[in-house]
Chains A and B, each alone.
Chain A
Amino acid sequence: DTEVTQTPKHLVMGMTNKKSLKCEQHMGHRAMYWYKQKAKKPPELMFVYSYEKLSINESVPSRFSPECPNSSLLNLHLHALQPEDSALYLCASRFPGTHEKLFFGSGTQLSVL
């Protein structure tokens, strides 16, 4: 299994809603990432978990709350989002190490109304 699976594929939410994005991999990777990608732009790093501990938070607003409950799962909890948060949210994983490549999921396309 060489896949990173993200659910849901599409999500529409209001500014007062609470929702969660889910990411799962079974490749034994111990580093997991959340990226945000706006249309026609490169991905922007949000969070990095290494061995289930948050190691990087790129000054992301607190309305985004990551969680890594075990080595295979990564969640992104969303609350009180703004319309400008509408974007493609990508999950990625890799073996921790200096040269290991990232495996990306297909993303969740989020629209905030």
Chain B
Amino acid sequence: DAKTTQPNSMESNEEEPVHLPCNHSTISGTDYIHWYRQLPSQGPEYVIHGLTSNVNNRMASLAIAEDRKSSTLILHRATLRDAAVYYCILRDALNYQLIWGAGTKLIIKP
């Protein structure tokens, strides 16, 4: 099975951009890349997903490397409310289930 590798934790200053990296060197050609985040004492929350092209939505942007072996979640202007664990996930091409990475704990400093 393909899997993802993420840094255990990252720190960033409030109101600055944040780039959260994810490596997925064994990704298959039809696996989608999903990102979810989990705020303290809550269930995970969908952030964004993509296949090959870069994607933008109101929460974040997803930049996918040309060889698809890595991707970066970009929060354009982090706030204290963005402090959470961010999971990089592959969506299995056969059964559509999610293969979760270990997650990156994002700490936002005021």
Listed in ascending order, the chain A residues whose CB lies under 8 Å from chain B are: 4, 41-43, 45, 48, 56, 90, 92, 98-99, 101-107
Contact = CB atoms under 8 A, between A and B. Distances in A.
A79 B57 CA distance: 43
Contacts of B49: 99, 101
Nearest to A94: B46
Interface of B: 32, 34, 36, 41-46, 49, 87, 95-98, 100-103
B102 A42 contact: yes
A101 B101 contact: no
A99 B102 CA distance: 22
A16 B102 CA distance: 33
Contacts of A102: 36, 44, 46, 98
Given A42-B101, A99-B49, A92 B87 contact: no
Contact of B100 (A43, A92, A103, A106): A43
A41 B98 CA distance: 15
- The dominant DSSP class at the A interface is loop
Given A101-B34, A104-B44, 4 more contacts: A43-B44, A92-B43, A104-B43, A106-B43
Contacts of B32: 99
B110 to A, nearest CB: 24
A92 B95 CA distance: 17
Contacts of A42: 87, 100-103
Contacts of A99: 32, 49
Contacts of B102: 41-42
Given A42-B87, A42-B101, A101 B43 contact: no
13 contacts: A41-B102, A42-B87, A42-B101, A43-B100, A56-B97, A90-B44, A92-B44, A99-B32, A99-B49, A101-B46, A102-B98, A104-B42, A106-B43
Contacts of B103: 42
B35 to A, nearest CB: 10
